[in-house]
Amino acid sequence: MGKSPGYHPAPGNFLVFTDIMTDQIEMAELHGQPVLKLQTPDGAVALISLFGAQLLSWTPAGGEDRLYLSPQAVFDGQTAIRGGVPVCFPQFASEGPLPKHGFARNQPWEAVNTRAGKDYAVATLRLTDTPASQALWPHPFAAELSIGIGGGRLDMELEVANTGPSSFAFTAALHTYLKVREVEALRIEGLRGLDYRDATRSDAVHKDTGVSLEIDDEVDRVYYGAPKGLLVREDHRALGIHQENFPDLVVWNPWEQKCAQLPDMPTDGFRRMLCIEAAAVRQPIELAPGADWWGRQTLVAL
């Protein structure tokens, strides 16, 4: 996972380790739920919920938390957690017969591997099919999410393997909630010239012609042929976003009216967050028996 010094797992390798704790990686609790805490000697910290393999917090070395976690998020081990980076699999949003965003974010994952060094820490969590998942989606599979931190960098890599006798197709996303000071004051650079489907305008397809995208109303877009690099600029800081092998990019903010309808968000929460999600939406990923796929998203605090 990733290109950062110290960790280079190969996509598609699913290995199980029983002794995963190190002095830089420990079990902890957040709101009564078990989390993995990753930390590096330079001060980078991440919290990962075992429920959904959901990254809840990422603080770069010498910085502040760059992920939004709703203060009204529910931590009951059953309800999807609002914020951080939910894993959408094997379905994105409501584009299919499954529950919204699939079932991976509502299941307990197993921590199967951790590694740490002087400038990094990485953990891998695993989910496989169960009778409950088979009832919803009748396919044997293995999914792994690897999360690595170090300095000002965060790497997330989702891997999916088809462990059954027949082919299947899926859509997926890393539903990344960025924490921002004021959403109306930021701009996103790198989307110009791309086609996007706009859910706020009857899913019509448009071309982005602006130098940058600014958020001043509800936005719900799937960009096709997403660029490898984006820059989110705020007055006091910036965030670089890179994705690999995820063909699409989602930009979402519910804005005032829809945010007020979400029971696990404060009414002004839309001002403090922006979702920029590495995704595979337009064309489902198809896996033959024994095949695997991986997709990666990297955030760099600037």
Which one of 144, 157, 159, 277 is the catalytic residue?
A: 277
Report the distance separating Cα 270 and Cα 265, nearest Å.
8
Residue (of 162, 144, 164, 132) closest to 285 by Cα position: 162
Phi/psi at 165 (5° precision): -90, -5
Let me know if 139 is a catalytic residue.
no
Phi/psi at 297 (5° precision): -130, 135
Output DSSP code: residue 240: E
Contact of 220 with 249, CB cutoff 8 Å: no
Which one of 175, 182, 244, 286 is the catalytic residue?
A: 175
Q: How many CB atoms lie within 10 A of CB 140?
A: 16
Which helix (H) or strand (E) segment holds residue 28: the answer is: strand 25-30
- By the 10 Å C-beta count (0-12 exposed, 13-18 middle, 19+ buried), 201 is classed as exposed
- By the 10 Å C-beta count (0-12 exposed, 13-18 middle, 19+ buried), 302 is classed as exposed
Residue 196's identity, in one-letter code, is Y
Which token pair is 256? 């005032």
Residues in the chain: 302
Assign residue 62 a region (left: φ > 0; alpha: ψ between -120 and 50; beta: otherwise): left
Let me know if 286 is a catalytic residue.
no
Beta bridge partners of 142: 128, 161
**Residues forming the active site:** 175, 277
